[in-house]
Amino acid sequence: MKFHRLLLCVVLMALSTMAFAQSHETHKSADKVAPSGAQKAFEKLKSLAGSWEGPVSVQPPQPEMQSGKPIQVSLRVTSMGNALMHEMRSPERPDDPITMFYLDTDRLLLTHYCDAGNRPRMVGKISPDGKRVEFEFLDVAGSTKYGHMRKAAFTIIDANRHIEEWVFILPGDKAVHARFDLKRKSDTAVSQVR
């Protein structure tokens, strides 16, 4: 009789171990869910990490930002891969506007720390071909007395070239469109042969 109890215990333990292993495998495969559109967009933007430079074109023309002037952009992955910091510099400006990109659950968000004294947030979506990430206005903190950033888009041409488009809304709801045609600086160039 003792032998049958021992055998029954061994069989039950083996069955429970198999059930646990099967359950564990199910959870592991559930963890391998395909990345969301927000995750794909964030990874695409993080691939732009490095130093960039190129001309800006502004429509309608603005006295403080002339078309054709060189601009420098630095993108840096930070916070253990959870954020991307974007800094823009030009010779005419005393300091740099900063933009942070990050995932918030299943949304890709951008917060722009604007020299107009406010912080607009936008939500990003990746294009079906995976080459463009567009950001639409969500909300803004701070005063919009001097205007605010309303839209942004990043088009990746290849590993060493991308285009940024930013829309700033002046008081009176007048839109200013700025387009930056950026090339990766040679010290951060990425080989196109992979």
Domain span including residue 26: 1-33
User: Over the chain, what is the mean pLDDT?
Assistant: 85
Q: Please give the Cα distance from 111 to 22 (Å, whole number).
A: 43
Q: What share of the chain is helix, strand, coil (3-state, %, to 5)?
A: 20, 45, 30
Domain total of the chain: 2
**14 and 103: one domain?**
no
Residues 94 and 161 in one domain: yes
> Cα(first)–Cα(last) distance of the chain, in Å?
68
Query: Does 27 lie in the same domain as 11?
Result: yes
176: which 2 tokens? 């200013």
Does residue 68 sit in the same domain as residue 150?
A: yes
CATH of the domain at 113: 2.40.128.20
User: Which residue shows structure tokens 């809304």?
Assistant: 169
Structure letter (DSSP) for residue 136: E
Q: Are residues 63 and 147 in the same domain?
A: yes
pLDDT more than 70, % of the chain: 77
| Residue 2: per-residue pLDDT | 55
- What's the confidence (pLDDT) of residue 18? 47
Only one residue has tokens 């740099």, namely 96
7 and 89 part of one domain? no
- Running DSSP on this structure, what letter comes out for residue 159? T
Q: What is the rounded CA–CA span in Å between residue 84 and residue 19?
A: 42
Residue-wise pLDDT tens digits, 142-175: 999 999 999 999 999 999 999 999 999 999 999 9
Q: Looking at the structure, tell me whether residues 64 and 18 fall in a common domain.
A: no
- The set of residues, in sequence order, having a beta carbon less than 8 Å from that of 118 and lying 6+ positions away, is 140, 141, 142, 143, 144, 148
Which one-letter amino acid corresponds to residue 51? S
Residue 8 lies in a domain: yes
Q: Does residue 190 carry a pLDDT above 80?
A: no
Which has the higher per-residue pLDDT, 26 or 83? 83
pLDDT of residue 20 exceeding 50: no
Q: Supply 77's token pair.
A: 């992955």
Same domain membership, residue 1 and residue 46? no
Instruction: Indicate whether 190 belongs to any domain.
Output: no
| Position 191 in a domain | no
pTM of the model: 0.79
Residue-wise pLDDT tens digits, 54-81: 999 999 988 776 678 889 999 999 999 9
Claim to verify: residue 27 and residue 104 sit in the same structural domain: no
b/e code 78-109 from CB counts within 10 Å (16+ = b): eeeeebbbbebeeeeeeeebebbbbbeeebbb
What CA–CA distance (Å, rounded) separates 41 from 67? 29
pLDDT tens, position by position, 167-183 = 999 999 999 999 999 99
Q: Does residue 110 share a domain with residue 152?
A: yes
Do residue 165 and residue 126 come from a single domain?
Answer: yes
Measure the CA–CA gap between 56 and 5, rounded to whole angstroms: 81
4 lies in the same domain as 87: no
Omega before residue 128 within 30° of 0, cis: no
